[in-house]
Amino acid sequence: MQKFLYELNRSPQLQSDYAADRHAVLQPYTLTDEEVAALTEPDVGKLYVLGVNGQILMHFAALHQIEWQDYLQQMRDGVESYGPVREGVYAMTGYEGTRAHSESLGQEGGI
């Protein structure tokens, strides 16, 4: 899943192919039905929960013209809807969400 997004971010040709047929470009990759659905809808919140690194995911969001604040909100909604991040660096020590981070740091607000 991340391999596809990594290659998508690097390749204007793959971006064109993805725009033309989102399912066809995923054929070479070994993906679950859930991953295919998240990549084709697209469901940024689900992709985040599935473990896509934000440094990769933010470019995918930009490709879909998703504004920055909307991108952040879609990830928050994903955690709310689908539960904690399942894999990757955000799950490494247990991603506990924005509220817990706020409390642990003793800070208010945030973007």
Maximum Cα–Cα distance across the chain: 47
Which one of 23-31, 33-41, 87-95 is the stretch in contact with another protein (CB under 8 A)? 87-95
Rule CB under 8 A: is residue 92 a binding residue for another protein?
yes
Separation of alpha carbons 46 and 98, rounded Å: 17
Rule CB under 8 A: is residue 40 a binding residue for another protein?
no
Separation of alpha carbons 75 and 42, rounded Å: 12
Residues contacting residue 83 through CB under 8 Å, at least 6 positions apart: 49
Q: Contact positions toward another protein, by CB under 8 A? A: 2-3, 6, 9-10, 48, 53-59, 62-63, 68, 72, 75-76, 79, 89-90, 92-93, 97-98, 101-102, 104-105, 107, 109-111
